[in-house]
Amino acid sequence: MPEFRFSPIGFLATPFRDRFGIPRQAQLAPHARGQLRLLRPYDRAEAVRGLEAFSHVWLSFVFHRSTGQWSPTVRPPRLGGNARVGVFASRSPFRPNPLGLSLVELLAVDTRDGVLLTFGGVDLLDGTPVLDIKPYIPFAESQAAARAGFVAGPPPQLAVEFSAQAAAQVAAHERRWPDLVPLLYEVLAQDPRPAYAEDPLRQYGFRLYDLEIKWRCTASQAIVEAVLAASDDGPAS
């Protein structure tokens, strides 16, 4: 059988520095912005001519933190983290070929110095290799009668609160990251914990931009307890 080699056209810059905390689907966090600067020889204005006429695009990408870790069955969070389905009935990153597809909003096309594309609603890790971009065609790709299997609809939403300490800390970072507060609301409202996590006293953490977010969950609420400058000793846990 033939083998195929692919080279990235660029690497996506996003706020998400850890896999933990990334929205489980695109468009669930509209304030999650990503930027893609095309690499040579793809960084030519004519390569994106006409792209600005489309509101959304598909990004073909590599799950670069999951290569070589495929499994024939996986445990989707939507099924509580215990029931298994086939990998091809899921969007798990642990695939025979670690390829992903994400639908994002196209916010800007800048060709003044190479090609820089800005997207909204991203659900990808910072540094994700992007292999291709294709425009989204609503009449062909939006199917009102489509069945969604075990994914019946968007996840239930938690209320999000900030402790007094976290509110003061986040205010100090808003000048650098203007979308920080709405992005935190969008990410935490989806409850990024593992499906089996139930301890309301356990503190969780993840990295967003150059910050470490400390938070915990009750049955119906996510509480941000601290917003700190991230250390360099590895990902939050």
In the prediction, which pLDDT does 233 show? 45
128 versus 143: the higher-pLDDT residue is 128
What is the tens place of the pLDDT at every residue in 172-219?
Answer: 999 999 999 999 999 999 888 876 666 777 899 999 999 999 999 887
What is the tens place of the pLDDT at every residue in 62-121?
Answer: 999 877 778 899 888 778 777 899 999 988 888 999 999 999 999 999 999 999 999 999
What is the tens place of the pLDDT at every residue in 136-170?
Answer: 999 999 988 888 888 877 778 899 999 999 999 99
Q: Provide the 3-class DSSP secondary structure of residue 73.
A: strand
Cis amide leading into 98 (omega within 30): no
**Opening angle at CA 17, ends 20 and 60, nearest 5:** 85
CA distance 87 to 210: 33
| CB neighbour list of residue 50: distance below 8 Å, 6 or more residues apart | none
CA distance 234 to 237: 9
